[in-house]
Amino acid sequence: MRDSIKLSGKLEIIHKDALGAVKDKRTESNLVVATGLAFIASRMASGSATLMSHMAVGSSSVAVAANQTDLVSILGAREQLDSSTSLLNAATYKATFEAGEGTGVITEAGIFNSSTGGDMLCRTVFSAITKDSTDTIEITWTITLNAV
């Protein structure tokens, strides 16, 4: 008998203007990077790894690679997660970048277990979203593990 696990991630991005009207809504896929895989393994073995707690957005379109440990060009600071949940075989993380946070041309995002440094779970690159200083961006990120 041979076991195999497939790890996949997707995020939903909702971009709203100052009045709450949706300017853009999209779903993107991601790559769980090497530090993210090591984080998952450490949680399975000892449970001592620090939980994922922050999300960040950035302005780089450099391709995603497994050896990356941070965003290439972060916009502002990492945002503390609004929520994180685990249900069956999926973990879901949600963060809101309010007015003034993560402002600019956004083309990348990542999940981290610290406000600075720490481990990056995953990273994605996508077509540009221009976030004005009065806009908000809500990102809901789901990481799913499936036996294949």
In a domain, 30, yes or no: yes
In a domain, 1, yes or no: no
Alpha carbon distance 53, 80 (integer Å): 6
- Domains contained in the chain, number: 1
| 49 pLDDT higher than 90 | no
In a domain, 83, yes or no: yes
Per-residue pLDDT, 1: 66
In a domain, 143, yes or no: yes
In a domain, 35, yes or no: yes
pLDDT, tens digit (0-9, with 9 covering 90-100), for 78-125: 999 999 998 888 899 999 999 999 999 999 999 999 999 999 999 999
Domain span at 128: 10-147
> Which residues have a Cβ under 8 Å from the Cβ of 36 and sit 6 or more positions away?
111, 119, 120, 121, 122
pTM above 0.75, yes or no: yes
- pLDDT averaged over the chain? 92
Element (H, E) at 40: helix 34-45
In a domain, 105, yes or no: yes
pLDDT, tens digit (0-9, with 9 covering 90-100), for 2-11: 777 788 889 9
pLDDT class for 50, splitting at 50, 70, 90? confident
Per-residue pLDDT, 98: 96
Mean pLDDT of 34-58: 85
Determine phi and psi for 53, rounding to 5 degrees: -140, -10
